[in-house]
Amino acid sequence: MSSLILPSSNLKTGINLTLEKGDGIYVYDNQGNQYLEGMAGLWCTSLGYNNQELIDAATNQLHNLSYSHMFGGKSHDIGTELAEKLTAMVPIENAHVFFGNSGSDANDTQIKLLHYYFHAIGKPEKRKIIARKRSYHGITVASACLTGLEVNHTNFDLPVEALGISHTDAPYYLRDSLPGETEAQFVDRIVGNLEQQILAEGPDTVAAFIAEPITGASGVIIPPAGYYEKVQALLKKYDIFFWADEVICGFGRTGNDFGSTTMDIKPDMMSLAKQLSSAYMPISAAVIRGDMYEAMIEPSNELGVFGHGYTYSAHPVACAVALKTLQIYERDNIFAKAAETGDYLQSQLQQYTDHPLVGEVRGRGLIGAIDLHNKAKGEAFPAAVSYHLAKACQDQGLILRAVGGTAIAFCPPLIITTAQIDEMMEKFAKAIAVTEAYVKAEGLM
């Protein structure tokens, strides 16, 4: 029995795979078995494993400056250079960036920045945040309150109401539409519900609406046409910030630089992590508009310090790896290449649209999901079916992930080739055949 407390795992079943090394898009367990890493780790190893340039970037920085903090006005060139490179990329005017260690702490930071900003401009009552059901924004106390998944709330006694957080409808047409409701009618209904929620909370008290452009852990949910256009018009009407959680979608995952570009979102704030460093070092970024930052300068001067920061904010080794990652993306035209291979992946996934276990196939770029659905009964299969499929994939040498209770997600490294996508789909075909036999044996169809 291991002394580890495993994150996001069934603590009773414990460890089922121990990985030892990785190379390219493959990882190897401690028995020497090879697996195609179809989830890029946790949606993050964009450049794959054993990238020598990233290893060298970390090694060189360790030799030069292994650690330095940024408290009390101290800084270092590599952190400054990364900030300038990043803010030049994002679709936010005069962007400013705060570095942390994970997507969860980036979202915690954003909550505090919102509160600080609205205090600074004399609107302290404007502090509420509307998130969505079926969303994932992290697991620290504050970011878990933003998350809209039951498993991340149950037994944790999270202070959701105390933080002024509420949840609105997910744009999940397959599961949440009413009988006979068209996609357009569904969008109008849930956007109308959002407006009623804003009015009930009081528009002058709502600071921001947070959304993943395309969700991850809840099932790679892609909103129907018109959803984001109408949501953004609504937020503009009531002077509410659009906060894009780009932790998964950012840096080429959806076939563009950011998920906001893919989904035509113009955010006021962005949270970034994961592919920022290809997961070779922990680093995150909370990005805000320039006017937000400028409003916070004088209040911090009055107090003598801006009272927020982490020991490892802008850790120089993490910054060096992130900067090299961004340079590789640009030099090797990774986003455009990922768009091409992403189109190929989506075409391969579409062959499962008519499969007896499948209700819907979703995706953009190199992220996708197959949603399992009992067509005969017109309802979702139990969660055990998607977990069975994930285990069947692992048995075939393919790592995928069961998400949202009913879906299986695909999110390979951005460097995957079409030939490797074929290999991935061959393994998946064998696994879903095994799962279909299981479903029939269990009498679930």
Would you say residue 308 lies in a domain?
yes
**122 & 181 share domain:** yes
**360 & 287 share domain:** no
- Give me the CATH number covering residue 40: 3.90.1150.10
Q: Give the rounded percent of residues in the chain with a pLDDT score beyond 70.
A: 100
Structural domains in the chain (count): 2
Q: What are the tokens at 302?
A: 């009055």
* Mean pLDDT value of segment 281-298: 98
**246 & 267 share domain:** yes
Query: Where are the alpha helices (H) located in 246-333, listed in sequence order?
Result: 259-262, 290-303, 316-331
Write out the DSSP string of 361-392: EEEETTEEEEEEEETTTTEEPPHHHHHHHHHH
Q: What is the tens place of the pLDDT at every residue in 84-93?
A: 999 999 999 9
**299 & 338 share domain:** no
* Mean pLDDT value of segment 162-179: 97
Would you say residue 3 lies in a domain?
no
* Mean pLDDT value of segment 159-186: 97
Would you say residue 144 lies in a domain?
yes
**37 & 100 share domain:** no
Which residues, including other chains, have CB under 8 Å from residue 142's CB and lie 6 or more apart? 107, 108, 111, 163
Residue 104 binned pLDDT confidence (cut-offs 50, 70, 90): very high
Would you say residue 7 lies in a domain?
no
**268 & 143 share domain:** yes
**312 & 347 share domain:** no
**326 & 349 share domain:** no
Block residue for tokens 């768009």: 339
Q: What is the tens place of the pLDDT at every residue in 341-375?
A: 999 999 999 999 999 999 999 999 999 999 999 98
- What sign has the CA pseudo-torsion 415, 418, 419, 425? positive
**61 & 128 share domain:** yes
Q: What is the tens place of the pLDDT at every residue in 21-60?
A: 999 999 999 999 999 999 999 999 999 999 999 999 999 9
Contact (CB, 8 A) for 413 and 25: yes
Burial class (CB in 10 A: 0-12, 13-18, 19+), 155: exposed
Would you say residue 2 lies in a domain?
no
Q: Which element (helix H / strand E) includes 36? A: strand 34-37
- Give me the CATH number covering residue 273: 3.40.640.10
Q: Is the pLDDT of residue 396 over 70?
A: yes
Strands 379-380 and 367-374: what pairing? Answer: antiparallel
Q: What is the tens place of the pLDDT at every residue in 416-442?
A: 999 999 999 999 999 999 999 999 999
Tell me, what's the pLDDT at 2? 80
Tell me, what's the pLDDT at 13? 86
**29 & 76 share domain:** no
The C-alpha atoms of residue 72 and residue 78 are separated, in whole angstroms, by: 18
**95 & 228 share domain:** yes
Would you say residue 377 lies in a domain?
yes
Q: Is the pLDDT of residue 1 over 70?
A: no
**Of the residues 279, 296, 331, the one at which a domain ends:** 331
Tell me, what's the pLDDT at 11? 86
* Mean pLDDT value of segment 98-102: 98
Burial class (CB in 10 A: 0-12, 13-18, 19+), 347: exposed
Determine if the pTM surpasses 0.85: yes
**Of the residues 331, 361, 386, the one at which a domain ends:** 331
Block residue for tokens 């028995």: 31
- Which residues form the domain of 195? 54-331
The letter for the amino acid at 431 is A
Would you say residue 10 lies in a domain?
no
Q: What is the tens place of the pLDDT at every residue in 105-142?
A: 999 999 999 999 999 999 999 999 999 999 999 999 99
Tell me, what's the pLDDT at 9? 87
Residue 403 binned pLDDT confidence (cut-offs 50, 70, 90): very high
**Of the residues 312, 331, 350, the one at which a domain ends:** 331
Residue 444 binned pLDDT confidence (cut-offs 50, 70, 90): confident
Would you say residue 165 lies in a domain?
yes
* Mean pLDDT value of segment 275-295: 98
**290 & 226 share domain:** yes
